[in-house]
Amino acid sequence: MRMSPARVWREKGARYRLEGGKCKKCYKVFYPPKTACPYCGNLDVEKVELPKRGKVLSFAIEHSVPEGYRHQAPIIVALIELENGVKVLSTLTDVKPEEVYIGMPVEATLRRIWEESDEGVIVYGIKFVPVEQ
Ligand SMILES: [Zn+2]
């Protein structure tokens, strides 16, 4: 039996930092981190740690899912407001579409996004899971 990389990464995810960018000119914080500020275009941007917790502002259930992601359908795409007010567009996992509601408390975690079996490539990314308030 092989080690489940998903499990290894899930454990790693507990210590995972949610990183965003902060502009040194207009001081706005954004996610995902970019090399240029999306607000003023300034290139002097530093990485900052974002709070992992937030709440759902709005969400959409996506039933038509691109190839490679189909086993995950439907995907719940949500706009999440973090505790510091930064808004993040991400996907929710470990929750049924009918259980999602506006204001639901969620937390960022690192999860497998897709797997390319021929190459053995597994890509991980940030997803949000429901948490107790
Ligand atoms: Zn800026």
So what's the pLDDT on residue 133? 72
For residue 54, report the distance from its CA to the centre of ligand 1, in Å.
Answer: 23
CA distance 72 to 67: 10
* Residue 57, Ramachandran bin (φ over 0: left; ψ between -120 and 50: alpha; else beta): alpha
So what's the pLDDT on residue 13? 44
Q: Into how many domains does the chain fold?
A: 1
- Could you tell me which residues are beta bridge partners of residue 19? 49
For residue 44, report the distance from its CA to the centre of ligand 1, in Å.
Answer: 8
Model pTM score: 0.75
For residue 20, report the distance from its CA to the centre of ligand 1, in Å.
Answer: 13
So what's the pLDDT on residue 44? 96
* Tens-digit pLDDT profile for residues 95-125: 999 999 999 999 998 887 766 666 677 777 8
Using an 8 Å Cβ cutoff, are 19 and 50 in contact? yes
- Could you tell me which residues are beta bridge partners of residue 7? none
For residue 90, report the distance from its CA to the centre of ligand 1, in Å.
Answer: 22
Query: What residue type is 43 in one-letter code?
Result: L
Domain around 83: 5-130
* Tens-digit pLDDT profile for residues 27-36: 999 998 899 9
Mean pLDDT, residues 9-20 taken together: 62
